[in-house]
Structure 1
Amino acid sequence: MLLSTILKPEAVKVIASASSKKRLLHDLGDLAYSAYGAKPEAAVEALLERETLGPTGVGHGVALPHARLADLDRVVGAFILLEKPIDFESIDRQPVDLVFALFAPEEAGVEHLKALALVSRTLRESALCAKLRANNDPSTLYTILTASQGAQAA
C-alpha cells in the first residue's frame, strides 16, 4: 500500500490556525467531503466518537485521527498542516501541527489497519516531519508525503 493510493493532492491543506481540536475535526470532515465526497457531518461525528475512546495525538506534534464511514468504498486520507499548533491531548502533551486523518469503509478491517500503520511509520520519521513543517504549499506537502515512500520502496 502506498500513501499515494489513499491520499489525493486535493486532500492536503494548510490552515493558519484552528481554535480547538473540535474545530480541526470539522475541518477534516470538510476536507473529506471536498476530496472524496464523504458526508462531512458523518465524518466529524465518527472522528469525535473515536476520540472519546482515547486521543489520537501520537506525540512529537503528530495526530492520526481515524474513523469508519458508511459512504466510502476504500480507505482514504486527509492531511492538514497547522501553522499554529493546538492542544490535541497527545500522549506526550505536546501541541499538534501535523494531522493525518484516515477514513475507512465500515467493513474495512485489515486495510484500515495497514493504512494506519503506514501513516504512523511515515510520520515517525523526524526528517520528513521537519520537511513538512518547513513548507506551507499543499502540493509540496503532498509530494513530500508521497515521494518519501517511493524512495523507501526503491
Structure 2
Amino acid sequence: MTLDALLSPRLTLCHLAGSSKKKLLLDIAQAIAEQYPQHDADTIFNQLIARERLGSTGIGDGVAIPHCRLPGCERPIGVLCTTEPAIDFDAADRQPVDLLFALLVPENSEQEHLDTLAEIAALFSDSRIREKLRQARTNDELYALAINSTAAA
C-alpha cells in the first residue's frame, strides 16, 4: 500500500507538542477521531496503548511506528507527525522519538498490517528521508515531503 493511500494532509501533523508517549498517542487518537467520527478516540487510544504494552514501537533513530488493529476500521489509516521536543518512547536504542507514523488497520487484516508496517519501516530506515521529514516546518510541507519521498524511493 502506498503512503499516499494511507495518509491525508489532515492527518499529517508537524511539531506536535510531545510531553509523554501517552499524551502523544492520545493526541493522535483524537486527531483520527476528528477525521473519522465513526471511530472513538478512547478506543483508538486504548488499542494503541495495549499494543505498546507488548513492547515499544520505537524502532530507533528517533522513529516510532505505533500501530494497532481497530474494530470497525474499514481501511488502513495513517498519521504522520513530528514532535517538538523529542519524547521518550522506550525505543530499543534509548533515543527519544521525534518522528512517528501511527497505523491503524482493520481488525482482520493481519497480512496487510504486516506488509504495511514493513513498508513504513523500510521508508524510515533511510536517513535521508528521516532528515527531510524532520526539516518540515508546516503540516502541508511535511505531507508533501512524505509523499514525494516515497515516490522517489
Report TM bin, short chain. over 0.9
Over aligned residue pairs, what C-alpha RMSD do you find?
A: 1.1
Instruction: Give per-residue Cα distances to partners, 1:83-127, cap 9 Å, x unaligned.
Output: 210100001000000010000111111111111111111111101
Report how far residue 141 of structure 1 moved.
Answer: 0.8
**Share of identical aligned residues, percent?**
38
Gaps of 5+ in 2: none
For 2:44, the equivalent position in structure 1 comes to 43
Report how far residue 15 of structure 1 moved.
Answer: 3.4
For 2:79, the equivalent position in structure 1 comes to 78
Gaps of 5+ in 1: none
Report how far residue 39 of structure 1 moved.
Answer: 1.5
- Secondary structure of 1:49's counterpart equals helix
Kindly tell me: are residues 16 and 114 of structure 1, through their superposed partners in 2, closer, same or farther at Cα, counting changes over 3 Å? closer
TM-score, length-scaled by structure 1: 0.94
- Secondary structure of 1:84's counterpart equals strand
Contact 1:8 1:35 in 2 (8 A): no
Report how far residue 35 of structure 1 moved.
Answer: 2.6
Aligned residue pairs: how many? 152
Report how far residue 16 of structure 1 moved.
Answer: 4.7
Letter in 1 for 2:36: Y
Report how far residue 146 of structure 1 moved.
Answer: 1.2
For 2:22, the equivalent position in structure 1 comes to 22
TM-score, length-scaled by structure 2: 0.95
Letter in 2 for 1:144: L
Kindly tell me: are residues 29 and 16 of structure 1, through their superposed partners in 2, closer, same or farther at Cα, counting changes over 3 Å? closer
Deviation >4 Å, runs of 4+: none
Equivalent-residue separation in structure 1 for 2:3 and 2:66 (angstroms) = 16
Equivalent-residue separation in structure 2 for 1:18 and 1:149 (angstroms) = 26
- Secondary structure of 2:94's counterpart equals coil
Contact 1:39 1:71 in 2 (8 A): no
Equivalent-residue separation in structure 2 for 1:43 and 1:55 (angstroms) = 17
Instruction: Give per-residue Cα distances to partners, 1:52-107, cap 9 Å, x unaligned.
Output: 10000000000000011112101110011102101000010000000100001111
